[in-house]
Amino acid sequence: MDITDKYAVYGNPIKHSKSPQIHKLFAEQTGEHMVYRSHQVELGKFADAAQSFFDNGGKGLNITLPFKLDAYEFAGQLSDRARLAGAVNTLALQGDGKIYGDNTDGAGMVRDMQHNLGWQIEGKRILLLGAGGAVRGVIEPIAKQNPSLIVVANRTVGKAQKLAHDFAEYGDIRGCSYEALHGNQFDIIINGTSASLAGELPPLETNLLSDEACCYDMMYGAEPTPFMRWSAENMAWAVADGLGMLVEQAAESFCIWRGVRPKTREVIDAMRAQLEG
């Protein structure tokens, strides 16, 4: 009889997901008895696949593109941060049989910045590039660290302005075009666009960085992204990719499921070595 708790990540495509390796390392480190696999789900079939998973003894799911909105709709109960993000990347079976939906992306990024990289967010001027789901998911966790200003810049200005409006109660948050950034400088610039995946760069001026600016790309890879190269060329004080965010958001999910927080530093180092190997 198989008594090992079952977890998985659902997405499409899913082949290149690092989540199974990350959670395997977490389980080994903490002594938790669990299996974690990846599953490619057919488009339009998420709810059926998730229901079947939980009906057959599954305990929790991670959700990646393009199903985070489907997971939001599927969850029977939502965390505040999932409701604000409008998306779910973690589903957990509760004791009462309900499925709890959470979004750990923003918390993962903030934890990576503060605990792994040693960056300070409080009192800083933050620039977020892009106005899609990735950016929406991190605004509230960043705002909770009390920056002096958050600016969302996007090609489609209306999307940036809508995000600023939606999160207005959390601080000084503004939306604008890339052109409207002219003459302004920021302490932390975060690339939340998908431009890096295409080897491209948002249309940025060269004078956006303050004297000790830190630049963060939510994407990651074996080589620096175009945004990371731009940051270094423009004398950023520190530059980082999103591998730490990936591991930290996974640790947050693991903690929701198992009630124990794994140590992430050694896992980030292991994943980095594998990526660059």
Structure tokens, 127: 């620039």
Is 19 annotated as contributing to ligand binding?
A: yes
68 flagged as catalytic: yes
Is 44 annotated as contributing to ligand binding?
A: no
Is 134 annotated as contributing to ligand binding?
A: yes
Is 207 annotated as contributing to ligand binding?
A: no
Q: How far is CA 130 from CA 133, 134, 191, 198, in A?
A: 9, 8, 7, 15
DSSP 181: G
Q: Can you state the angle between helices 19-30 and 265-276, rounded to 10 degrees?
A: 140
Are the beta carbons of 204 and 231 closer than 8 angstroms? no
Is 59 annotated as contributing to ligand binding?
A: no
What is the phi/psi pair of residue 258, to 5°?
A: -110, -10
Is 8 annotated as contributing to ligand binding?
A: no
Is 118 annotated as contributing to ligand binding?
A: no
What amino acid occupies position 260? Answer: V
Is 116 annotated as contributing to ligand binding?
A: no
Is 57 annotated as contributing to ligand binding?
A: no
Q: Which of 45, 59, 68, 124 is catalytic?
A: 68
Is 97 annotated as contributing to ligand binding?
A: no
Is 131 annotated as contributing to ligand binding?
A: yes
Is 101 annotated as contributing to ligand binding?
A: no
Distant-in-sequence, close-in-space partners of 164: CB < 8 Å, separation ≥ 6: 152, 173, 174, 175
Alpha-carbon torsion, ordered 70, 71, 77, 83, to 10 deg: -80
Alpha-carbon torsion, ordered 167, 242, 255, 270, to 10 deg: -170
Of the candidates 65, 64, 52, 88, the one whose C-alpha atom is nearest the C-alpha of residue 256 is 88
Is 234 annotated as contributing to ligand binding?
A: no
Is 11 annotated as contributing to ligand binding?
A: no
Alpha carbons 258 and 275: distance in angstroms, whole number: 27
Which residues belong to the annotated binding site for NADP(+)? 80, 130-134, 154-159, 218, 242
Enumerate the active-site residues.
68
Residues forming the annotated binding site for shikimate? 17-19, 64, 89, 105, 220, 249
Binding annotation? 17-19, 64, 80, 89, 105, 130-134, 154-159, 218, 220, 242, 249
